[in-house]
Every structure is written in structure tokens, then in C-alpha cells.
């Protein structure tokens, strides 16, 4: 059985215009106390016998590379891990260096995910990023120099001012860096972010669905031609280089949440921790629970959710679990394909994944709406 540990690192040097993740730019003074709290949380759980050996560990953020590498290694060290555990750290291109990466590698980190987003300087500026494409090239070289074998590069498409040519060049330059894995996300407008507020005020254009759909197909074409297989709507990997931690979420396995704002799952129970680093540190210091809330999923909610997640993957969903008429309609519309008892999204279907899921969940067989961009 796969079991994962997610560790949230809520610190960033700068807040990007589009981002609504739980992260702060003015709390660096808390980093040491926060690491202590994460280690204490893990040690207490180990003492209580709550932890199986993790098959994957994922440090997400925020910007985990803002935390000194030796401190991150302390957290890794506190997690009981299977011998072949995948240990990923998300990094920003302008906050990693070869020495830090060597320390991470020595501490058991074997996968790095870098937030590249774009290789066009004006697009990076439009996204409110602080790095430039040269930082990305240096960061990738540093990962390789540290002997870390598995690398993911994250991209975003659909920013204001990004032409189709910009995106084509971004994907091509990303492939030229020879990562094992690429994630490409449609820029999502989150309410309350500078991007969301500008769009609500009419000061900036919202991303265009057709433009994002075209860019999705460019990414899929270029990545497939370069030997990367899509295995989830927004994720492509060289053979055997899929992210095991993400697969654990998509296939409904259990995971532990360490750190503020982190979410965990134990069988049918979902739970999440207090949102701020201060409250997380305080909870651990006072030996009280950092859990802020939980929900128990009933079997309808569970099957609806597992259908939505499975359908996003290249394995798709089991056809016999689904409404016959709805499947037939979606197959006829070219959105689903049948294979060995499974139904799998076609590429057109991947662009309309949410609508396909809703139709299957509700078993409503009406014509699908016009296409929208993949997420």
C-alpha cells in the first residue's frame, strides 16, 4: 500500500500575482521554529505508532527552497520511509544552489520540482515572477550537478501577453532541458489575488479558453513527440518517471499532512491543519492538535470523487461502474474512448474533463458544451 507524507512550507520571497496558496512573504523569522514544529509533529506521531513507512514525501509550498537545506533534511530524517521512497522538494529557480541541493540529496531527497512557468521574460513579468529564464537553466544544471536524478519542471499557460509562439518556445526550451517530468497548468484566476482583483475590476483580461485549449494541445504535441506520455491531464512523464506522490492522491491512497494549511487523508476521513505558521507552531509547542477541521466522506461522495480523479488519468474509469447511456453518448461525441473495460478521456475529452465528469456523475446524456481549457 502506498502512503505519502505532504509537508507544507508556507514561506515565499515574493507573492506572485495569480497565487492563492497558503504562503507568506514576511514570516522568514519563523522558519527555524516552524521546522522544529514539523519535526516535533512527526516525532510525536512516530511515538504514537501512527506512521507507516512512507512510499513518497512531498515538500510543497510556498517555496520549500526558502528553508535552509539542512533544516529540510532534518524534516526528511524524521519521516520513516520505505527504502525506495520518492522524496520531492518544490523549488523556485532563484532560490536554489548546488551546495543546498547536495545537502538535500545527502539527506534523501531524490526528486526536485522547479517552478519555471514560462521561458519568456515578459510572460514571467506578467505573472509577477521574480526569476528569469537564465535562472532556470542554472537551477537545472545545479540539480544535475548535485546528482539528483529526477526533475520536474512546472509550466503555466494563458498569461496576459503570452502569444502562441511564446508558449511553443517555452515548451520547446523546457524539453531541451531534458527533465524527466513536465507539469503544465492552465492559468487559473483565483478570487482575491492581484490577478483576480484586476480582472474583476476590468483592468486586466481574463485568460481566454480557446487560447488555453490551443496551448494545451501544443504542449501535448511537443511533449509526446519528445517521448513524454500524458498520464494525468496536466502531467507528462518519461516512462517510469511518473510522480508517485501525485499518483497516490489520484488513486485514493492515504497521506499525512505536516505543517500549516496541509491536508491529510486517512481512509474516508479528510482533515486539515490550522492555516497560519504561528498557529501551527503554537499548537505543537502546547502539545495540542494542529488539526483545524475534518470531514468524513460517505460512499456517494467517495465514488463521485474517485471517478473525477480517475478520469483525469490515462487509466480512466471502470466502464461497468458508469451509466451505459451517458458513456455511449460521450464516446459518440469523441470525448471518451473505450479500452479493456475502462473509459479514458480522448484529447478532446481532456479539454472538457470537468464537463465529462459532471455528465458521468449525474448520468445526464445531453450534448456537451463548447470546449474550455484543461486545468
Question: Which residues contact ligand SAM (rule: CB under 6 A)?
Answer: 18-19, 21, 61, 63, 90, 92, 115, 117, 154, 156, 185, 187-188, 190
Among 7, 9, 16, 248, binds ligand SF4 (CB under 6 A): 16
Nearest Cα to Cα of residue 81 among 102, 107, 101: 107
The Cβ of residue 11 has, within 10 Å, a number of other Cβ atoms equal to: 22
Residue number with CB closer to ligand SAM (119 or 336): 119
Cβ-contact 67, 28 below 8 angstroms: no
In three-state secondary structure terms, 242 is coil
What is the rounded CA–CA span in Å between residue 52 and residue 43? 13
What is the rounded CA–CA span in Å between residue 160 and residue 116? 17
Question: Least distance (Å) from ligand SF4 to the CB of residue 356?
Answer: 28
Question: Least distance (Å) from ligand SAM to the CB of residue 63?
Answer: 4
By CB under 6 A, what part of segment 67-96 binds ligand SF4?
92
Cβ-contact 154, 118 below 8 angstroms: no
The Cβ of residue 21 has, within 10 Å, a number of other Cβ atoms equal to: 16
- For position 261 contacting ligand SF4 by CB under 6 A, the verdict is no
Question: Least distance (Å) from ligand SAM to the CB of residue 40?
Answer: 24
* 91 sits in which H/E element: strand 81-91
Cβ-contact 11, 67 below 8 angstroms: yes
What is the rounded CA–CA span in Å between residue 4 and residue 211? 36
Residue number with CB closer to ligand SF4 (61 or 133): 61
Question: Least distance (Å) from ligand SAM to the CB of residue 316?
Answer: 24
Question: Least distance (Å) from ligand SF4 to the CB of residue 285?
Answer: 26
Q: Read out DSSP for 178-202?
A: --SEEEEEE--PPTTSHHHHHHHTT
- For position 21 contacting ligand SF4 by CB under 6 A, the verdict is yes
CB-side neighbour CA atoms (13 Å) of 14: 12
Question: Least distance (Å) from ligand SF4 to the CB of residue 368?
Answer: 32
327 binds, among ligand SF4, ligand SAM, none (CB under 5 to 8 A by kind): none
185 binds, among ligand SAM, ligand SF4, none (CB under 5 to 8 A by kind): ligand SAM
Question: Least distance (Å) from ligand SAM to the CB of residue 332?
Answer: 32
Nearest Cα to Cα of residue 12 among 64, 58, 59: 64
- For position 277 contacting ligand SF4 by CB under 6 A, the verdict is no
Among 115, 158, 264, 349, binds ligand SF4 (CB under 6 A): 115
156 binds, among ligand SF4, ligand SAM, none (CB under 5 to 8 A by kind): ligand SAM
Nearest Cα to Cα of residue 177 among 102, 229, 129, 238: 238
187 binds, among ligand SF4, ligand SAM, none (CB under 5 to 8 A by kind): ligand SAM
- For position 15 contacting ligand SF4 by CB under 6 A, the verdict is yes
Residue number with CB closer to ligand SF4 (94 or 220): 94
Cβ-contact 23, 63 below 8 angstroms: yes
Question: Least distance (Å) from ligand SF4 to the CB of residue 211?
Answer: 21
What is the rounded CA–CA span in Å between residue 29 and residue 51? 30
Residues that bind ligand SF4 (CB under 6 A): 12, 15-16, 19, 21, 23, 61-63, 92, 115
Amino acid at each position: 500500500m502506498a502512503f505519502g507524507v505532504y509537508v507544507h512550507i508556507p514561506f515565499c520571497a515574493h507573492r506572485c500575482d495569480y497565487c492563492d496558496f497558503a504562503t507568506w512573504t514576511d514570516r522568514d523569522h519563523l522558519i527555524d521554529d516552524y521546522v522544529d514544529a514539523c519535526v516535533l509533529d512527526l516525532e510525536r506521531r512516530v511515538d504514537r505508532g501512527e506512521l507507516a513507512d512512507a512510499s513518497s514525501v512531498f515538500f510543497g509550498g510556498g517555496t520549500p527552497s526558502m528553508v535552509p537545506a539542512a533544516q529540510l533534511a532534518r524534516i526528511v530524517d524524521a519521516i520513516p520511509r520505505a527504502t525506495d521512497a520518492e522524496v520531492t522538494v518544490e523549488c523556485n529557480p532563484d532560490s536554489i544552489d548546488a551546495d543546498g541541493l547536495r545537502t538535500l540529496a545527502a539527506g534523501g531527497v531524490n526528486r526536485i520540482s522547479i517552478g519555471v512557468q514560462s521561458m519568456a521574460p515578459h510572460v514571467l513579468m506578467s505573472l509577477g515572477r521574480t526569476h528569469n529564464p537564465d535562472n532556470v537553466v542554472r537551477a537545472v544544471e545545479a540539480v544535475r550537478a548535485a546528482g539528483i536524478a529526477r526533475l520536474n519542471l512546472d509550466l503555466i499557460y494563458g498569461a496576459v501577453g503570452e502569444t502562441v509562439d511564446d508558449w511553443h518556445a517555452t515548451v520547446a526550451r523546457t524539453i531541451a532541458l531534458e527533465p524527466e517530468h513536465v507539469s503544465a497548468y492552465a492559468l487559473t484566476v483565483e478570487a482575491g489575488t492581484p490577478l483576480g482583483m484586476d480582472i474583476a475590476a476590468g483592468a486586466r483580461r481574463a485568460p481566454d479558453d480557446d487560447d488555453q485549449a490551443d496551448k494545451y494541445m501544443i504542449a501535448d504535441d511537443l511533449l509526446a513527440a519528445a517521448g513524454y506520455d500524458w498520464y494525468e491531464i496536466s502531467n507528462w512523464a518519461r516512462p517510469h518517471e511518473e510522480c508517485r506522490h501525485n499518483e497516490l492522491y489520484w488513486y485514493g491512497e492515504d497521506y499525512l499532512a505536516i505543517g500549516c494549511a496541509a491536508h491529510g487523508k486517512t481512509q474516508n476521513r479528510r482533515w486539515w491543519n490550522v492555516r497560519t505558521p504561528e498557529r501551527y507552531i503554537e499548537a505543537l509547542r502546547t502539545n495540542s492538535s494542529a488539526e483545524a477541521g475534518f470531514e468524513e466522506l460517505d460512499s456517494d461522495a467517495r465514488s463521485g470523487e474517485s471517478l473525477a480523479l480517475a478520469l483525469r488519468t490515462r487509466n480512466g474509469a471502470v466502464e461497468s461502474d458508469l451509466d451505459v447511456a451517458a458513456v455511449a453518448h460521450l464516446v459518440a461525441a469523441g470525448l471518451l474512448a473505450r479500452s479493456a473495460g475502462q473509459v479514458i478521456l480522448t484529447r478532446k475529452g481532456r479539454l472538457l474533463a470537468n464537463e465529462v465528469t459532471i455528465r458521468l456523475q449525474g448520468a445526464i446524456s445531453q450534448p456537451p458544451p463548447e470546449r474550455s481549457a484543461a486545468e
